[in-house]
Structure formats: C-alpha cells, structure tokens
Amino acid sequence: MSNPSSLPSYISGASPNPKENRAPWYKNIAPTYAGIFLWFVFWQDAVNAPNQGGLLSCGIGWAFLSLVIAAFVCHFLFYMVPGILGMKTGLPLYIIGTSLFGAQGGFFLPGFLMGVLQFGWLGVNVYFSSMALGAFCGLEATSMGVKIIMVFWGVLAAFVGLKGIQYVAKVATYLPLIPLAVLLLLLAKTANGIGSFDAQAFIAMSAKAAPAAPAALGSFGVLAFMLTFVVGFFATAGAAGVDIASNGRHKGDVSMGGIVGIALAIIVTAGISMLIVAGTYGSPELSKAAVAAGKDGLILQTPGLIPVIMGKSAGLIMFLLAIAALPPACFSSFIAANSFKTTLPKVHPFISVGIGAAVSITLAITGLAGKAIIVFVIIGATFGPILGAMLVEFLLNGGKWSGPRAGFNPAGWISWLLGAIVGVLPILKIYPVPAAPVAAFLVGAVVYGILAKLGMQSSLVALPAPLAETTR
C-alpha cells in the first residue's frame, strides 16, 4: 500500500458529509430522483421507437412489463451500489471513482467525464424546451425565433447553475409538479380509448402512415429498446447516486429512496405516458385527428399529441412543460460547474461552463440534441461500464469502498474502454447490440472481474486518518 503523501490534493482534501447532515430518504434521495423522471424529455419517448407500432407493437401489457423490468434494472444494477458507497463514505463520486481508475485516473473518469456529459444533457434540454416555447409563441420549429430562445435558455440555465445550489433549489421546489399534473390531465382525456387499443390495428395504421418504416418489433425487441431508452437516460443519474445518497442515514434510506424515487417514478411517469398514447390511438375520434396531424408517420411522442388531445389549450400546456424543464437544465449546469471546479481548479468556472454552454446551444440549434435516444445510448455506453466495474469492485471488497488506487488502475481503464466500445457499436452502425447501455454495463463488470483476478489492479494508497474511516 502506497503512502498517503502520494495522493493528489483533491483526494486528501476531501471531506465526508457528516452524519448530522443526513436526513430520511423522503426528504432528499426520493424527491431528487423523482424530479429527474418528471422531466418531459424522459417520458415523452415511452413508446417512441422508429418501428411500426413503436413500443406498443406487442400490446400495452408487454410494453408496461418491459418498462417495469427497465425500472428495476436502473434501481438494482445502476443505483444501489453507488448509493450504498455514497451513504457509507459520505464522499462524492469523483473520490469513490478513484478505486476504479486510480488516484490520477480518477481526475478524468468519472470526474471530468461527468462534467462534460452534462452539456449533452443541457443541449437536449435546450432543444426540447425551446421547441415547446416556440410552439406556445406560434413559431415554426426551424425559425430564427426558436433559435434565439435556445440561446437565451442555455445562457439562463448556465448562469443559474453557476450561481450555486441555493439558486437552483429556488427554481426547483414546485415546478416539477407541473409535468405530473399534465400527465394526469392527458390521461383523463384519453382514458376511454385505452380499453379499445389494438396492437395489430395500430401496427397496420403505422404501416399505412409510414410504409418505409422498419417492421414491428417482437417481444425481445420491445424489451431491448425499452432498456436502451430508460437505462441510457438514467446512467449518469445512477452514478450520481454516490453524491445523492451520501445524504442518507443508512441502507434503508438508500433502498427506499431508490424504490420510490427511481423505480416507482419511472413506472408512473413513463407508464402514464404510454397509456396516453394508447388511449389516443384507441379512440376513433382522437386517432383520426392524430393520423391527420402526423406528417411522416404516426405521432408517438406524447407532447406531440397534446394539440390533438387538448386543442386550443395545447400552447399553454407546452409552455408550462418548458418552464418546468428549467430545474433539470440548471442542475446539469450546476453539476458541470462542480466537476470543473474540482478537475480544472485553475480555470474560472465562468469560462469552462461558458464554453460548455456554447457547445450545448450549438447542439440544440443544429438539431443534433433533438435525437434524444442517440444521446441516451452514448451516455449509457460511457457510464454503463463504470457502474458495472463499480459493482464488481464493491463485491470483491466485501461490500465496502476499497479506497483509491495508485496512478491509473489498468483494470478500470481497460474494462471501461471495452464496455464503451460495445455500447457505441449501434450508434456507429457497426453492430446492432441490443440494450446497448446494459450490454456496456455487463462488459465492464465481467472484464473488470477477470482483470482483478489476474492481478491487474494497481496498489491501494493509504488514506489520511480523517478519511481512513470511510473504508471500514
């Protein structure tokens, strides 16, 4: 074991979250995660696959079961271990990650990478929020007015995030309740059509509206696509469970916070969204209007059906959804700012976050950020193997944090690289890996376990006395 004097200052100077600052799961972990899944950019794609019939091609029952499976994969595989490590140590992700990537390597993974990826999320937020605001103002999606809104939205989110968590909290207290109210309203308006929904008739309707679309998915295809969408969206939030659950008092808080804030929130938000789409196309009147409104096929994104369902009230609802999306945008900027303050201490956060925000706005203006599923796959590919390796490291060390490893830990870096390669194969159109974020997780886990058994882990570095308690 190496001497603690070899530790970088960002590790030796870390301070665990004290026990007296902890609180029950319903005051921190659950509401923090639930707010993520109330964001309309998550639940809008609950049935949105490019295939005929989308994710409803095998019926509502199978789509819902696939959603439940994906929700519990997020909770048990992608959240519980980071959450337990955060609760036990009180330390942030960029410190916990040094057991996988080394005291020097942890600077880049997951620390710097977490900050960079936040700007991908900010770009997605800017794109969809600006589209919603543009719809409220009666602007065309490609108009200069929408592009101006994108610039304003991105700058506002970056500024609030830079100001600190107290300012983010001020915009996040009640706004997340708006999407839940919208979902319940849309469900009430479409509930009568749910019982009449027929998957085969829906596939035929899809084929007629877009004959060139890929054939309908089978049961495995629906499950794989659902895992891609849900797990890819959640991957970075799962890793952030280290930080979020460091506010928990014990394992019960970690578990209940995840069950309610992650699994249940996924099932409720995406499940209601799914029923809204099914109810729309199960209603003869709404179905006819939805088909007429679709330009290149059926409308499968729930917000796209709001004008069909709500008529003249649609603009106001889209405005409210956009406003409710401001807290997630600010949180992305806040997380990025914290990451860069740690990994780039000599660069002023206004410069690093400003550059990142400019990239986010550019992604939104060019429309690249609008391809949300692709963004989910990329994020899942990069963070999936990190979480897979973290699970194996956790098990090998008896359910505790092992502490930082020297330099660049080969086992961590190789497992991450191989997992990420597998995860991006579908995006590069090299091979259609099913449920790519989950596949990346599994590759990271298996490779790390093999390399650890082969002795390809760098040596542990002793921690200073105040931090040594975190590994016990």
Residue 301 lies in a domain: yes
Residue 149 lies in a domain: yes
CA pair distance 178, 181, nearest whole angstrom:
5
| CA distances for 77 relative to 81, 100, 241, angstroms | 7, 17, 12
Nearest CA-CA partner of 228 in 64, 415, 433, 50: 433
The pLDDT, as a whole number, for residue 293 is 93
- Listed in sequence order, the residues at least 6 apart from 285 whose beta carbon sits closer than 8 Å to its beta carbon are none
Residue 152 lies in a domain: yes
Range of the domain at 308: 4-91+121-337+346-370
Q: What is the pLDDT of residues 363-381, one digit of tens each?
A: 999 999 898 888 888 989 9
CA pair distance 91, 164, nearest whole angstrom:
19
Judged against a pLDDT cut of 70, whether residue 1 lies above it is answered with no
Residue 265 lies in a domain: yes
Q: What is the pLDDT of residues 420-429, one digit of tens each?
A: 999 999 999 9
Grade residue 333 by pLDDT with cuts at 50, 70 and 90.
confident
Grade residue 314 by pLDDT with cuts at 50, 70 and 90.
very high
Residue 181 lies in a domain: yes
CATH at residue 178: 1.10.4160.10
The pLDDT, as a whole number, for residue 334 is 77
Query: What are the backbone dihedrals phi and psi of residue 332, each rounded to the nearest 5 degrees, phi first?
Result: -60, -45
Residue 386 lies in a domain: no
E-only strand ranges, 390-467: none
Nearest CA-CA partner of 340 in 351, 329, 328: 351
What is the number of alpha carbons within 13 Å of residue 397 lying toward its C-beta?
21
Residues above pLDDT 70, as percent of the chain = 96
The pLDDT, as a whole number, for residue 97 is 95
| CA distances for 339 relative to 113, 149, 190, 334, 342, angstroms | 9, 27, 43, 9, 5
Residue 284 lies in a domain: yes
Judged against a pLDDT cut of 60, whether residue 166 lies above it is answered with no
Residues above pLDDT 90, as percent of the chain = 70
Please tell me what DSSP assigns to residue 405.
B
| Mean pLDDT of all residues belonging to the chain | 91
Residue 321 lies in a domain: yes
* Number of domains into which the chain is organized: 1
Q: What is the pLDDT of residues 69-94, one digit of tens each?
A: 999 999 999 999 999 999 999 998 98
Give the CA-trace dihedral at 84, 85, 86, 91, to 10 degrees: 160
Judged against a pLDDT cut of 60, whether residue 167 lies above it is answered with no
Identity of the amino acid at 39: W
CA pair distance 391, 44, nearest whole angstrom:
30
Using alpha carbons only, give the angle 22, 27, 31 rounded to the nearest 5 degrees: 125
Chain CA centroid to CA 83, Å: 16
Grade residue 165 by pLDDT with cuts at 50, 70 and 90.
low
Give the mean pLDDT of 199-209.
96
CA pair distance 167, 159, nearest whole angstrom:
10
